[in-house]
Structure 1
Amino acid sequence: MSFIIETTDIDLGDTPIENIFINDFMPMANGTYVKVYLLGYKYAYDRDGTIEVNNKTIAKHLDIPLSDVLNAWDFWESKGIIKKIFIDKDNKFNYKVKFLNLKQLYIKNNYKPINIEEEMATKSYICSVEDLVDANQIPAINEMFNQIDYIMRRQLVPNEKQKVLEWIYNYNMNPDIIVKAFFYGIEKKGKRNINYVGGIVRNWYDQGITNVEALQEHFKETDEKYFRYDQVMKYLGYGNRLPSVGEMKVIDKWFEEYKFTMEIVLRGCENSKKTSNPSINYIDGILTSWYHKGIKTVDEIEEKDRPSEKKDTKYNKADKRPRTTRTKFHNFQQRTSNYTAEQLEEIVRRKREEYYFKTKGESK
């Protein structure tokens, strides 16, 4: 004997998430890690044996790389709220994820909600030379240092790199946030000083900004110009690449001189995707053309930016022939044009006879 509950074709159920996770753990992670945790928790809570779920399923559902899913589980394991149960000891990626009950942790292990500020005050990570060497082997960290070198217009020395790694660990920052902090401090504030950038990182941390999504919302409210740069570069598919000084001046022109809205600028970016290699200069050509045509809204683009229509021209065979230069002899009218073919033949015959009799007479 068994008991079965019929389920609906559409998922109309509920997934309870503990407030401890929402209040204490969610703020310390980036948005991708939170999505992975919530979706994995939902699959575990459903207990639907007819559906095979693995990390690839989660990656496909969230439309993210598989590596992001694996990194998320590493992160949550380090926070002690999930446990990996390995199926094959020789395969480090073949494991089940067990979600630990946070209330049970609180009761059994004398668990206290994590206060990040208190934890940072009592425990601070110090980066060693060995840690720096190991970190440089990580592609994301190596790429971060390359971008920082470009922004600083010089290479960071080892002790500066160690400071950056300490920020990542102590403030739970993603590498792309660190890059944006350098760009903001140097290009926006004109402070080419690593300690000044460190102050920016601490300030963002105090405001709960530890991932790109939170930073975008922050700049949307506090720094409109930087938000513009970020939106344009992201829309063009440049990822986390930062605009150069020249590109920033061009983007500023669109908004400050042309008075375009973000909607119009993004439409120009969309039009630029028709070319194989869209760039800021290519978009500038489009937007400058719209500016000279008096376009101020998206609705006016279709009306005023139509391609010029060429007038239909009928060509006959005479038009296609190469034209010759006319001279005064073209006005000469030939006499033969007044005779028919028979008349011309008669004239020729008579001329031949006259010539024949004339030459015959002379010979006598």
Structure 2
Amino acid sequence: MSDFVLKTDGTPGVTSVSNLFLDYYMPGANGEYVKVYLYLLRALNCPDISLSVAGLADVMDKTESDILRALKYWEKQGILSLECDDANTLQGIYLCTIPDPVAKKSEANATVSLRQEKETPAPKSYSPEELNAFAQQSECRQLLFVCNQYLGKTLSPSEIETILYFYDQLHFSADLIEYLVEYCVCKGSKSIHYIRTVGLAWAEAGISTVGQAKERTTTYRRNTFAIMKAFGINDRNPVDPELSYIEKWLNTYDFTLDLVLEACRRTMERLHKPNFEYADRILTRWSDQKVHNMNDVLALDQEHQKKAARRAPASQARSTGFTNFQQRDYDFDELEKQLLESQH
């Protein structure tokens, strides 16, 4: 196969794209994310383009959540940096020099011991002498008293060790720990296991101040109540297993709220009652199939319909033999629904 030469009659404008981006970052990225980045490069050399999240969403025919997901993805890759105000409103985007992943890997290998030191430490058991030393610190003593009040009981030894783990090993401030416990209790959970789960998620996210925690929890709380409402649950807070599912969908799978609500809608449409387990099956399947937005969901639906249409003629062809035999027409969706209902 011969090479070809690309030509043009006019004098084209030029948008420079780093070879590092093309070689290392573009191949593994979602195509929609790539389009957002390329558009930003184009806008960099065109001062007439007015940039906003809403404007980008209109140009790309995507939702604003899709645009923000793309921006956050590139920020994690070190391609750009997002500049936000105190209200977490996007004020600017700084396009960084494209990192060389080969050089980064070499640097990472050279500093592996340093990284290990920064990993989240495992909880340790405190000796009676150490516990007594903490009890002598006024800040620590006040912290444990406040936690007693929030949980409405005297803390057990394991609960005290969990609080001290945040204070002594993760270096959370007393104010941040108080807010952590308050937040979990207000969500309807006094379980120290759940408090530990949320606290570790904050540590992994780099949250070190109450302001950062409030920013994260405000969005999470709003999304949580939206999910409960989608299930028709308006008269109570979510319980621990439900909170674990929601945490998984929004943070582990990193799904946008509209995708989670769509899974809830399909669950209610199929079962006519809230069922977190069934919704989780839908969202786990979408995660495995690399679903990022509603367009991906619609594409899966269309593919499913095509496969069903191809199976129908084959099924009819097989039914021509043994015409005196009365075949059963099983509704597998209905059988699945009955099976789920029998388990609850």
TM range (shorter): 0.3 to 0.5
For normalisation by structure 2, the TM-score amounts to 0.43
Larger radius of gyration: 1
For normalisation by structure 1, the TM-score amounts to 0.41
